[in-house]
Amino acid sequence: MSIAVECGIMETLLNGHVHLEVTAHPAPSRTTRPRTALIAAPEHHPDELFLPPRLILDDMLRAQKIEARLSGLVLSGPTLRRICDVFHREVEAGLRQEPSSLLMENTYVPELPDGTEEGLFLALDLGGTNFRVLLLELHNGVLVREDVKQYHISDELRLAPAEDLFNYLADCVLDFVTSEGMEKEELSLGFTFSFPMKMHSISSGELTTWTKSFKCGGMEGVDVAALLQRCLHERNLRVTVRVLLNDTTGTLVAGAHTNHDVGIGMILGTGSNGCYMERAERVQHWEAEHSRVRDVCVNVEWGAFGDNGCIDFVRTDIDREVDARSLLATSFTFEKYIGGKYLGEVLRASLAALAREGLFPAEPVNLVTADISAIEEDWVEGGTARTLRVLRQSLAKDADVSLTLSDAIVAQHVARLISTRAAQLVAVCVATLLRRIARPHVSVAVDGSVYKRHPRIRHLMPRYIARLAPNHPFTLFDAEDGSGKGSALTAAIAARIAAREN
């Protein structure tokens, strides 16, 4: 599914159609009655279109107090444009290798698929609780075979020494190629390692920091691809790691396989990140010959945007509480506003803040992003049953609390604020990159569970992007398995370039 925006300005309110319901009272007459009519809304100031709907409760004082307490979660048009300006400055600084909260890492991927990719490739995908091994066969750029096997990464392994984790990954590869009857064959491999890295070449890089639920020791100064290569050789596998990339780069490459207008790749799932095609001369960090390279994929790592305090003006006490309770406190600030790992916790902390001020019946114990999606879906459909069920399940088992319809409406309002803010902040990043690329049209390849499963975010994003980047037409579309197919396609690109140079 794709969402295209061919103009810069949307003239309807972002959270529904605008209309006024008016009761007209003509001069008294025995033959006329008051009548209700729909008339066009008056013109709204453009900045009003960034704001979410107001909270409406029978208890108007409670509604006002709730809105005041959560006002920090509401981002105005001027605030969003200010964030755009800061993001642009951080992008420029990162590209120049000056202090910046954005890594702006050169991926050394200089080309995108062109339909000539050929051969048999392995792909590994590590980035969450599951690890996948894939075998893909390409003929004239067309995928003609795809075999996939999934393996579980235990909680213990995600916190164990890195050697243990990579030995397990190599064991999974051995199991997979044995099941395919290919354990004696020479194979090229693309490794999607979905964590921030300092890249030295298309097949070499060091971990910068673990994210999500991983925190393995012993990775300081270690080449990720070389460590995997050693573990594979120890199992006598004739597999060569040709490409090291993250899932965002893989998403851009996989998207470009089907859409040649692609200039941006984006993940909005457990975590969030973006990458884009930048002019090579703007990139300062090169450790390889690049005189013939015109464009190169740059990995932004926008999950860390603001780690240096540059956007603390949008940070609330709720965000500080979420950060303090996280596995990686004081880092990946931006991801904690938008990532699926954290949106449920932002909702929990928000409702808890209201409860402490007597504006909500009790503090929830636990909420996850799937709960936000359920509450939002309930609101979209005009119901409250799922919302009340989610709230009851979130409370302590011994909590003696009676939840009302008004409580459900409050929870829906809070979820709406959090979802809207997430969509706005992602839109800031995409809009800034669109203005930077400045093509007649740019397609944005998107992957991730929040984008695909949240009932509203995928529809809010293009509206905010269009307002923040007017006159920059774009299309958002679902990329299929960027972290798997993307790594295999990138390995095929590397093979094509190597053959051409030889």
Catalytic residues: 212, 247
Query: How far is residue 248's CA from residue 113's CA, in Å, rounded to a whole number?
Result: 16
Give every CB contact of residue 450 below 8 A, 6+ residues apart in sequence. Answer: 268, 269, 272, 338, 339, 340, 343, 369, 422, 457
Give every CB contact of residue 275 below 8 A, 6+ residues apart in sequence. Answer: 107, 246, 248, 249, 251, 252, 264, 265, 266, 297, 298, 299, 300
Tokens, residue 183: 């354990």
Query: How far is residue 322's CA from residue 363's CA, in Å, rounded to a whole number?
Result: 14
SS3 string, 14-75, reads CCCCCCEEEEECCCCCCCCCCEEEEECCCCCCHHHHHCCCCCCCCCHHHHHHHHHHCHHHCC
SS3 state of residue 330: coil
Phi, psi dihedral angles at 197 (to 5 degrees): -135, 155
Nearest-5° angle of CA 392, CA 393, CA 398? 75
